[in-house]
Structure 1
Amino acid sequence: MELSNSRKKELRAIGHNLNPVVMIAEKGLTETIDKEIERALEDHELIKIKININDPAIRKQFAEQICQQHRAALVQAIGKMALICRQAKKPNAKLSNLLRPA
């Protein structure tokens, strides 16, 4: 999923006020975390993930791996936070961060 710079800017503005819905620690990407990321992407479409690992290279690797596994786009990665987006097959206006009014 590729995003234009203007679309990334819009998504960053929406994502600014979001809280992380998934937190990844030293155990890394477990099956449970993968399921939770999948559920969150399907429900919310735009999610923030906290990758609570000190090494920036490993954080970047995790963010890229998550996007590849879940067919999502990395909107932004700053520090320990990653903002990722994937359009849902059947978006729910009550849950989607993309469809809710600002």
Structure 2
Amino acid sequence: MLTGKQKRYLRSLAHHLDPIFQVGKGGVNDHLIRHIEEAIELRELMKVSVLNNNSEDRQQIAAELALKSGSEVVQTIGSTIVLYKPSVNNKQIELP
């Protein structure tokens, strides 16, 4: 579980990142989860964009992505979700 201070720090790091994946009308599926798991192991911090043609609640999508990928939701703002998971082999981010 991330503290408020850690979330603020991660939000500042994520500000300049571009979304890597998009969740469309197909929603969250196993294929998307597998790619997110691979990418977050390398990057630790990433953005996911939710497209306008997806009718699901963005908070629910964020919670489902975090649960299935083993990561934590740092922020959900507009149609962008920021996820964080500490890397096992590629540790780059030191949390305060």
TM-score by structure 1 length?
0.83
Give 1:55 deviation, angstroms: 6.9
Identity value in percent: 24
CA deviation profile, 1:52-78 (whole Å, cap 9, x unmatched): 146786211110001111111110000
Which runs of structure 1 show a deviation greater than 6 angstroms over 4 or more consecutive aligned residues? none
Decide which moves more: 73-82 or 46-55: 46-55
Number of the residue aligned with 2:27 = 28
**Aligned residue identity for 1:77:** T
Instruction: Give, in whole Å, the separation in 2 of the partners of 1:53 and 1:73.
Output: 23
Q: Structure 2: any 5+ residue segments left out of the alignment?
A: none
Decide which moves more: 42-51 or 83-92: 83-92
Superposed, 1:12-91 pairs within 5 Å as 12-53=11-52, 58-91=57-90
CA RMSD in angstroms, aligned pairs only:
1.8
Give the SS at the match of 1:3.
coil
Instruction: Give, in whole Å, the separation in 1 of the partners of 2:11 and 2:73.
Output: 11
- Conserved in 2, the CA contact under 8 Å of 1:21 and 1:49? yes
**Aligned residue identity for 2:6:** R
Give 1:30 deviation, angstroms: 2.2
Q: Structure 1: any 5+ residue segments left out of the alignment?
A: none
From the superposition, tell whether residues 56 and 29 of structure 1 become closer, same or farther in structure 2 (CA, over 3 Å): closer
- Conserved in 2, the CA contact under 8 Å of 1:53 and 1:59? no
From the superposition, tell whether residues 75 and 56 of structure 1 become closer, same or farther in structure 2 (CA, over 3 Å): farther
Give the SS at the match of 2:13.
helix
Count of aligned pairs: 94
Number of the residue aligned with 2:3 = 4
